[in-house]
Structure 1
Amino acid sequence: MIEHQGPWRDFDEVERAVFQWVAWYNSERLHSALGYIPPDEYEQAYWASLEPVPQTAWSHDRGLHETRDSSPPRHP
């Protein structure tokens, strides 16, 4: 991974090298199983291809974080 780039003076340099490698691995590396496009680009295209899921009135007006349990409000 980053072993050919050292030696490093401190932990911050190692952390920076790892971060740069991960950024390259996810955003620039061409992945053969994904049609030779970077993983980030593939994921963006995947999410863009999905149709938006409509929200119900319950989930919009009164989300799970506002209820005591996770069940929708009951109607009489």
Structure 2
Amino acid sequence: MNDSVVVRVKPGSRKGPLVEVGPNGELTIYVREPAVDGKANDAVTRLLAAHLQLPRSRVELISGAASRLKRFRVNP
């Protein structure tokens, strides 16, 4: 079974690394890495995998590589 998760990303944040869950279950991920050369995407993938308690290999970015709104495929 494959599920997808949509997250809002805040790259270059002093607040990070942090996963914030909103009142409706939406995820906002703050990372210190800048949005340059995929550094923020890698950090977000690592942090999301840790938050979901899954290996990083089970979390894959499927859309939004150049956007702050990203969709990940999660294979439990």
TM-score, normalized by length of structure 1? 0.27
Q: Which has the higher helix share?
A: 1
For normalisation by structure 2, the TM-score amounts to 0.27
Larger Rg: 1 or 2?
Answer: 1
Which structure is higher in strand share?
A: 2
